[in-house]
Amino acid sequence: AAEVTAMSTASPVANPTPTGRNAPGGELGTLSQDSVTQGKVGEILDLIASVESAGRYDAVYPERRRPQILDMTIAELIPDMRARGRATGSSASGRYQYIRKTLQGITSSMGIDINTTKYTPETQDKIAIYHLRLSHGLDNWLAGRMSNEDFLNKLAGTWAGIPNMSGVSTHAGVLDNAAGTSTQVALAKLGTIQGTA
């Protein structure tokens, strides 16, 4: 749905660089930047980012880079997202391509002070990890209490680049959303992460 509010003073990126699944290096496993989070959780974040943003923390829709967002507080980012949403049809921002309403909901639930917290790589990871724990069963999956198939379907419910068990994006038909990898490759990656010591 279109996001309609007042325009911000956000200025476009000069010579924006393509990013995302259609850019060179945007395929699963070939990230331009690893997660700042380590271990199995970092590998899950890398899986998501590989098909959402090619791993770039400054990625914005449609497959462009906007380094300015990394120095914005979340309160400053919200009007920037509104402006871009009006211009492009999506406000998706950052490594995990959160849209404005989702970002506002999660940060409110977390109790983050949006007036002082910047949208840094560390903040983006904290938001995604909180969301994975709250809505996707991350802790149950890590403990072996959720199957890879169920976890994949939960991830696909949020991130359009992750395929569901039917092999397609749950959000296909919205803008240019499509799965950025196959179900088999994604499941194999989850299995590898689960087997990591």
Give the tens place of pLDDT for each residue, 2-11.
Answer: 333 333 333 3
The pLDDT value recorded for residue 1 is 38
Whole-angstrom distance, CA of residue 43 vs CA of residue 45 = 5
Q: What is the pLDDT of residues 180-191, one digit of tens each?
A: 678 999 999 999
Residue 64 has phi, psi (to 5 degrees) of -130, 170
Q: How far is CA 73 from CA 104, 107, 117, in A?
A: 12, 12, 5
The pLDDT value recorded for residue 5 is 31
pLDDT, averaged across the chain: 83
Q: What is the pLDDT of residues 126-176, one digit of tens each?
A: 999 999 999 999 999 999 999 999 999 999 999 988 999 987 766 655 555
Candidate from 15-24, 36-45, 54-63 with smallest mean pLDDT:
15-24
Q: Which residue has the higher pLDDT, 62 or 126?
A: 126
The token pair that represents 107 in the structure block = 């940060």
Cβ atoms of 119 and 94 closer than 8 Å: yes
Amino acid at position 159, single letter: W
